[in-house]
């Protein structure tokens, strides 16, 4: 990966980590699905009138928008709303790196090695240890919802890799239309007209900041860069950059909400990040040890 692309990827994942705290700020004033729908409304309005439809079938754009808007961010916002801390949510969502590579193995025929299975096992041990945290920052339902969001994000990564839209900005703008509309509908079906009636009163400065940051910084800029990298490089090269998201997420949650980083959380974070690192860099690890064994025991020539 080129240095400039690497730095852009790290910068974007840093923004994404901070975004979980920004989401929580917005959830103090707005319903989770309404907050998410407003985020994606600003992503496609008014840009959709000035950006030509991308060179991808409308059904693919709609599927991406539904998975990305509802399946990923609508569900993750709901998980945070139900009590999961911003820092823990940022950590758990990184399981998408596993699912991305697993899905790529089934769809593109990439092999999953024993080292990758070992890395996955270590990370899941960390996930189980998170459920034992009792400081009020973890809810079982919240964890389950964010895991579901991670699966949806992985599916979005595969859609981008398989279809390779030429204009990523246009792809984000047009897919946001298919994110916002279902989210508005879900808000109405679940809560009725009440969230809409009180919208103007609820839109305080913090809520407006949250929506603007999520729309323009996190989504349009961040996913434009991320999806461009997914299109340009193999999933195994881009996915490791997401390891920085929980680092940024935990630090930001500590700074903004004074989230207590207890010993149990540190152990869980170490297990999850270590497992992900083993999983993602498994091929390099196997090659390194394979080369060492080969140098130690060179093949013998001639008869025994």
Q: How far apart are CA 122 and CA 273, in angstroms?
A: 9
Separation between Cα atoms, residue 108 and residue 111, nearest integer Å: 9
Phi-psi region of 83 (alpha: psi -120 to 50; beta: other; left: phi over 0): left
Question: pLDDT at position 287, please?
Answer: 66
Is 211 exposed, middle or buried, given 0-12, 13-18 or 19+ CB atoms closer than 10 A? Answer: buried
Burial category of 256 from C-beta neighbours within 10 Å (exposed 0-12, middle 13-18, buried 19 and up)? middle
Rg of the Cα trace of the chain?
21
CA distances, 236 to each of 137, 249, 297 (Å): 31, 22, 31
Alpha carbons 6 and 60: distance in angstroms, whole number: 28
Nearest partner of 138 among 269, 36, 245, 23, judged by Cα:
269
Give residue-wise pLDDT tens across range 290-300.
Answer: 656 656 655 55
Asked if the bond preceding 46 is cis, omega within 30° of 0, the reply is yes
Q: Supply 19's token pair.
A: 């975004």
Q: What is the pLDDT of residues 234-270, one digit of tens each?
A: 766 776 777 778 778 888 888 888 777 777 777 877 8
d(CA 160, CA 103): 13
Q: What is the pLDDT of residue 212?
A: 94
User: In degrees, to the nearest 5, what angle opens at C-alpha 121 toward C-alphas 96 and 87?
Assistant: 45
Please enumerate in sequence order all residues whose Cβ is within 8 A of that of 266, keeping only pairs 6 or more positions apart, or say none: none
Would you call 28 helix, strand, or coil by DSSP?
coil
Long-range residue pairs from 106-113, CB within 8 A, at least 24 positions apart, any chain = 107/158, 107/162, 108/161, 110/236, 113/282, 113/283, 113/286
Q: Which letter does DSSP use for residue 135 in this model?
A: S
Q: Read off the pTM.
A: 0.78
- Is the Cβ–Cβ distance between 176 and 117 less than 8 Å? no
What CA dihedral angle connects 187, 29, 215 and 47, to 10 degrees? 60
Spans of the chain below 70 pLDDT: 110-113, 130-138, 235-236, 239, 280-304
């Amino acid at each position: 990966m080129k240095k400039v692309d690497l730095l852009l990827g790290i910068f974007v994942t840093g923004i994404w980590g901070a975004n979980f705290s920004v989401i929580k700020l917005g959830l103090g004033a707005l319903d989770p699905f309404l907050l998410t729908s407003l985020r994606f409304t600003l992503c496609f309005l008014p840009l959709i009138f000035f950006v030509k439809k991308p060179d991808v079938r409308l059904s693919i754009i709609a599927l991406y928008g539904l998975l990305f808007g509802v399946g990923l961010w609508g569900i993750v916002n709901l998980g945070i709303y139900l009590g999961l801390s911003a820092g823990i949510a940022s950590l758990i969502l990184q399981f998408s790196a596993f699912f991305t590579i697993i899905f790529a193995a089934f769809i593109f025929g990439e092999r999953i090695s024993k080292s990758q299975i070992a890395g996955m096992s270590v990370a899941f041990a960390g996930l189980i240890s998170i459920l034992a945290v009792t400081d009020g920052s973890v809810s079982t339902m919240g964890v389950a919802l964010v895991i579901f969001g991670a699966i949806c994000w992985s599916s979005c990564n595969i859609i981008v890799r398989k279809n390779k839209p030429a204009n990523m900005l246009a792809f984000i703008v047009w897919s946001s239309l298919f994110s916002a509309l279902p989210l508005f509908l879900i808000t109405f079906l679940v809560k009725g007209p009440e969230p809409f009636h009180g919208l103007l009163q609820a839109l305080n400065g913090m809520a407006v900041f949250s929506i603007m940051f999520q729309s323009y910084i996190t989504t349009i800029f961040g996913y434009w860069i991320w999806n461009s990298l997914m299109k340009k490089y193999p999933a195994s090269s881009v996915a490791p950059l997401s390891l920085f998201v929980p680092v940024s997420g935990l630090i930001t949650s500590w700074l903004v909400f004074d989230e207590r980083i207890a010993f149990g959380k540190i152990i869980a974070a170490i297990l999850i990040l270590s497992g992900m690192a083993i999983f993602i860099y498994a091929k390099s690890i196997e090659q390194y040890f394979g080369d060492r064994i080969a140098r130690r025991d060179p093949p013998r020539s001639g008869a025994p």
